[in-house]
Amino acid sequence: MSFSFDQILALVRQLPPNDKIRLSRALEKEGIQSKLESFLTTFRTDELDEEVIDEEARIVRQQLYEDQANKGHL
C-alpha cells in the first residue's frame, strides 16, 4: 500500500488535536534518533580508549594551568 505525501497530509489534518500532537512527537523522536545514529556512526572509532582520553585531558589541564601561571593568575 502506498500513499502520497498529500494523501497523508489530508489524513493528518483530519486527526483530533491530541493525535496530531502524538504524531508530531513520534515523528520528531524518529528524526532525532536518525540524527543520533548518524552522528554516532560518523565518530565511531577503535583508535580511542579511556587511557588515551585521560592522557589528552591531563595534557590540556596542564597547559591551562601553565597558561594561568604564566599570566600570574595562580
Region 19-26 average pLDDT: 93
**pLDDT-derived band at 74, boundaries 50, 70, 90:** low
- Cα–Cα distance between 19 and 6 in angstroms, integer? 18
**What's residue 10's pLDDT?**
95
- Cα–Cα distance between 43 and 8 in angstroms, integer? 35
- Average pLDDT of the chain is 88
Give the start-to-end residue ranges of the domains of the chain.
1-43, 47-74
pTM above 0.85, yes or no: no
pLDDT tens-digit map of 31-66 = 888 888 888 888 777 777 888 889 999 999 999 999
Q: Measured between alpha carbons, how far is residue 52 from residues 8, 9, 40, 58 in Å?
A: 50, 50, 19, 10
